Amino acid sequence: MAHSMQQAAGGSKMASVASLREHLVEELNDLLSAEQQLIEALPQMQEKASDRQLKAAFRSHLAQTRGHEKRVAQALKQLGEETDAKTCEAMEGLLEEGQELMESADAGALLDAMLITAAQKVEHYEIATYGTVRTYARVIGERGVAKLLEQTLKEEKAADKKLTSIAEGTVNRKASKEWHEQSSMVESGTDMLQKGAQWVGSTVGSAMKRVMPGQAADRGRSRGKNGRSKARSRSRNR
């Protein structure tokens, strides 16, 4: 009986490790797709950026991302697994959101701030996922794979810190100034429209008086005659 319980316990443990390994493989394939999508997106983000530091950060991270893709493929190879053609839907969604942001604003500090937001969302997703697969690899005893993933995890964290540094160093301040300038322009434009409408109204009124002075006078005399006629009529009735 005790022997059977040990077997059951051992069997349960082996099943658990096997499923964890399968999940690790699934997550690695997901990351492979994510890195491939990011390789396509980063050049567009670099092109849209105005800040020189931000452009350089995107260019640098593109080179890193190509290395990350190779590491994930290497990790799968060390596990004896083939890569599959699955699409990382999480990365796809994040990049679509970033594309919408890029199309919603003109080049400048405000767009730079939004690009940093989009890029950091991507970084945080990757940091969470690489941290998870690194831990899975350690748990199942795949130290070589864990070491590869740990290296990428460190680079993702460094990239995120670099984006924060750029935002806090220059971009956020410039974006705030740009936003206030745009708001002032909108308010000034509204004031000008209101004043313009008032000027048009007063000008049209003056012009009408000049164009039809006789009609205005005739209406005035007509009102006067009507008033006198009504007064006489009331006098007779009395």
The pLDDT of residue 177: 84
Domain extent listing, the chain: 2-177, 193-237
Averaged pLDDT, 83-90: 92
Tens-place pLDDT, residues 41-82: 999 999 999 999 999 999 999 999 999 999 999 999 999 999
Tens-place pLDDT, residues 122-170: 999 999 999 999 999 999 999 999 999 999 999 999 999 999 999 999 9
DSSP per-residue string spanning 58-116? HHHHHHHHHHHHHHHHHHHHHTT--------HHHHHHHHHHHHHHHHS-SSHHHHHHHH
Averaged pLDDT, 9-36: 80
Which pLDDT band, with edges at 50, 70 and 90, does 4 fall under?
very low
- CB 144 within 8 Å of CB 202: no
Query: pTM score, two decimals?
Result: 0.70
Tens-place pLDDT, residues 143-152: 999 999 999 9
> CATH for 2-177, among 1.10.760.10, 1.10.238.10, 1.10.10.10, 1.20.1260.10?
1.20.1260.10
- CB 52 within 8 Å of CB 171: no
Q: What are phi and psi of 226, to 5 degrees?
A: -60, -40
Tens-place pLDDT, residues 181-202: 777 665 554 554 555 555 445 5
